[in-house]
Amino acid sequence: MSGDPPPPTDPLESEEALERGRLLFAQECRFVAGADNLGALPEPTLTEVAFAGRSNVGKSSLVNALTGRQKLAKTSNTPGRTQQLNFFDLGGRLMLVDLPGYGYARVSKSKVERWTELARDYLRGRPTLRRLCLLIDSRHGVKDADRDIMSMLDRTAVSYQIVLTKCDKLTDAALAERTHAVEVEIARHVAAHPLPIPTSAVSGMGIPLLRSHLAALAAPNRIG
């Protein structure tokens, strides 16, 4: 009927897809390993989704919001708190990987360089990595450090999704303007998904949609 609402343009926005995402992220999520060198990485047995971004962009808060667990990933107001790659097994179907933040951190330059190189090596060579969620603070937009990572991901053909964080701190008009600016920016990057996902770990904005996108990558439900 003409009065019916139009179907969602993105199939991952459908009620069924959103429900699959909700059910997946309602599963037990447990810490598996923290790796500060490539030799300490766990065996690549599950599909992996990684989260990266500038220090203090809200990575840990986003992981906690996705899983509905306030203390799964450690959060801090101090940039540089995450100093290793942290692996979380989500229901035996998906591995979530919290990467060290890049950019400012109150630690030595040598430590920052070591974390950055570890993250880059992981992103370039992990066979089970299906998607990188690249977090951008919606208040500041894409910075040069983000562009460096995006260019590296383009070169290595690592698929990535831009996720705008802290969107509750912007007005609707400012968020729409920022989102459009990011869309224009990422149109130049071949490995990026064309549309960013605005989120807020505080209000829950965008969390169901991001769950839906990630659930589409997960291993099937185990039988028996």
> H or E segment at 104?
none
pLDDT over 70 for what percent of the chain?
Answer: 83
Strand 129-137 with 94-98, pairing: unpaired
Long-range contacts of 11-20 (CB under 8 A, 24+ apart): 12/209, 12/212, 12/213, 12/216, 13/209, 13/212, 17/212, 17/215, 17/216, 18/208, 18/209, 18/211, 18/212, 20/212, 20/215, 20/216
| Over residues 138-149, mean pLDDT | 93
pLDDT over 90 for what percent of the chain?
Answer: 68
| Over residues 154-175, mean pLDDT | 96
- Mean of pLDDT over the chain: 87
The 3-state secondary structure of 22-88, one letter per residue = HHHHCCCEEEEEEECCHHHCCCCCCCEEEEEEECCCCHHHHHHHHHCCCCCCCCCCCCCCCCCEEEE
Please report the pLDDT score of residue 106 as a whole number: 54
* 217 band by pLDDT with thresholds 50, 70 and 90: very high
| Over residues 148-157, mean pLDDT | 91
pLDDT digits (tens, 9 = 90+) for 92-113: 999 999 998 886 555 556 666 7
Calculate ∠ Cα 55-60-63, nearest 5°: 140
pLDDT digits (tens, 9 = 90+) for 19-72: 999 999 999 999 999 998 889 999 999 999 999 999 889 998 999 999 998 767
Which has the higher per-residue pLDDT, 124 or 175? 175
Total-model pTM: 0.87
| DSSP 3-state of 179 | helix
In the block, which residue shows the tokens 């919606």? 138
pLDDT digits (tens, 9 = 90+) for 112-127: 677 678 888 898 889 9
| DSSP 3-state of 144 | helix
pLDDT above 50 for 201: yes
Crossing angle of helices 207-215 and 59-67, in 10° steps, is 80
The Cβ-side half-sphere exposure at 47, using a 13 Å CA radius, reads 13
DSSP β-bridge partners for residue 96? 49, 88
Report how far residue 149's alpha carbon sits from residue 145's, in angstroms, rounded to the nearest whole number: 7
The region of weakest confidence among 15-29, 66-80, 138-152, 155-169 is: 66-80
